[in-house]
Structure 1
């Protein structure tokens, strides 16, 4: 708990003076003011996070949290629970979508076992297991409060280690069969939104499967009665270990003044949890894509963020987050390398 409390206290405001400088420079560049839209907003926010007009973002690290879910036994996924382990093997063998997309975006992968049922003996896997999967949240809390704190602190430590090893920016991803179920539960508890408006197909459920998923989430919420004003209670009652781990990554990176990129629904549920623990963390968070999962955009709205791309993706793993990473390079390139009107001898708009 000490690590979590210390981290929450270390998350500070952005450098407003540097953000003002960034705005002034952007307005002097050879373009209509604001014409590069969200790239300009990104450049300003990055300046505030790093305290530099032209931050270096060369070293990109993508952290994947892997965990299993007891609620999988309620038939809320189209795939068996064993796929979690199989996919981690695939990550380690460099054969998954995230491997391909991360390489294309120049991001180094770090895969963390925070709560898989099975153990994998591979030196490339970070072994930080809190427990072998969560409990079935329809029959009791998914984890204890202490386990939730432990998982958050695993994420904090992984973010800290990544930064100490040179990470300039961190993106987040996950793997865990059935994890859209706790993610939707976390969203519903924090926001009070109707489950029918936020629960999606996940890995490909049919209509009956979605109805069952909604019923399972409602039963879990009714049984545990999580207190939406207590983020740790919500996380422990109906959350997931990888959700907690990613929330910890976000908090840890923010405390070390690094930008963090959100992925899809599960990563966004982690972001919402981190925000409920420390509202100031959102200043360090960036969206990426809009997932096909209906609850995803609802979380963005809660965080007052807007996705940069919409490719109708719903894979997870952090695939949308790594796809967005080149945008950050371009935002810095624009503010650093474009000429001003004065430098280029270009006339400004008429007064």
Structure 2
């Protein structure tokens, strides 16, 4: 870890307990049954602790989409070739992808980032491309480590810097997304190594593999875990050996959320793997994360349980791009509106609910 990265991580401080206590008191006075918004109430309380302010505002919301290619695609672990990464990334800049259409409805600004796509990209005007390319894709981790440690740290720092810039521009909630053919393979490998779990328990079909393709994908990951596992000494090592530029960049986004005190919203399995890497690099940064949904990938729920995060949506989503995170944002903003705008029991002159047991 570089001295610069170490110094940045030293800025991370705990959640503000006083702001959270004031937020709990405010919820108890809102004229509705106690705890009736469930996880939404808990997330608003957490946001108060993150922002150090019991007044919760999410008027500016962003989606960072880390886009990069993965050399492991050479091993036949995907249904499509890596050329799809570039096409979809360019479509995002025109607002013509699933998550961009969802983001428009949810009033979320989209920031597609080329952190490692395998060719140079053209950009549209709707969501201009952020050019942060560190290489033209990773290496094939069946043959050599995916990235150097230096490249991995640079990708992490890139994610942190993007959070800093958005925080300075007044954004109060950042969702995470990705685009990179082959990144369910890298995510399974990273998760397996970070949790010391068998890859077969964590690896799914991604974007639609056959039974034969799934078997091949599992074998590739199992071999990588055997090869690199014994030599990895930390989360950065794991990312460099079997991860990707998109995963490392997202890891930096999660760390940046803790540094600059901005809540970061997980999408599904891939951003969950990056979130776990961030937590391994700096334990406690999960306190600055929110979970949007439970991915349909086998490791989706497992990752959320490991991070002790409660999802807002359970709908079998596995689209990627940040789509689940964007889908959850209207729920959070509606909860924030109730929290900030609804009458109190005192306002309408009726007796407050009292906790009588349970929750």
> Shorter-chain TM-score category?
over 0.9
Question: Does 1:129 find its partner at 2:130?
Answer: no
Contact persistence 2:116–2:134 (CA under 8 A) = yes
Question: Could you give the per-residue CA deviations for residues 212-242 of structure 1, whole angstroms, max 9, x where no partner exists?
Answer: 1100001111222355651111111111110
Question: Could you give the per-residue CA deviations for residues 301-326 of structure 1, whole angstroms, max 9, x where no partner exists?
Answer: 11011211122111110000111111
Q: For 1:88 and 1:313, locate their aligned partners in 2 and report how far apart those are by CA, in whole Å.
A: 20
**Residue equivalent to 1:107:** 108
**Residue equivalent to 1:21:** 22
CA RMSD of aligned residues (A): 1.5
Q: What aligned pairs does 1:288-299 form with structure 2 within 5 A after superposition?
A: 288-299=292-303
- TM-score, length-normalised on structure 1? 0.96
Question: Could you give the per-residue CA deviations for residues 283-314 of structure 1, whole angstroms, max 9, x where no partner exists?
Answer: 11000011111111111111011211122111
**Residue equivalent to 2:80:** 79
Post-superposition offset of 1:47: 0.9
Contact persistence 1:140–1:224 (CA under 8 A) = no
Contact persistence 1:140–1:223 (CA under 8 A) = no
Q: What aligned pairs does 1:46-57 form with structure 2 within 5 A after superposition?
A: 46-57=47-58
Classify the secondary structure of the residue corresponding to 2:346.
Answer: helix
Q: Specify every segment of 5 or more residues in structure 1 that has no aligned partner in the other structure, as ranges.
A: none
Q: What aligned pairs does 1:1-351 form with structure 2 within 5 A after superposition?
A: 1-122=2-123, 124-225=128-229, 227=231, 229-349=233-353
Post-superposition offset of 1:349: 4.7
Deviates more, 1:108-117 or 1:224-233: 224-233
Classify the secondary structure of the residue corresponding to 1:294.
Answer: coil
Q: Specify every segment of 5 or more residues in structure 2 that has no aligned partner in the other structure, as ranges.
A: none
Contact persistence 2:163–2:257 (CA under 8 A) = yes
Contact persistence 2:40–2:312 (CA under 8 A) = no
Classify the secondary structure of the residue corresponding to 1:248.
Answer: helix
- TM-score, length-normalised on structure 2? 0.94
Contact persistence 2:192–2:225 (CA under 8 A) = no
Classify the secondary structure of the residue corresponding to 2:295.
Answer: coil
Classify the secondary structure of the residue corresponding to 1:288.
Answer: strand
Contact persistence 1:185–1:217 (CA under 8 A) = yes
Classify the secondary structure of the residue corresponding to 2:111.
Answer: strand
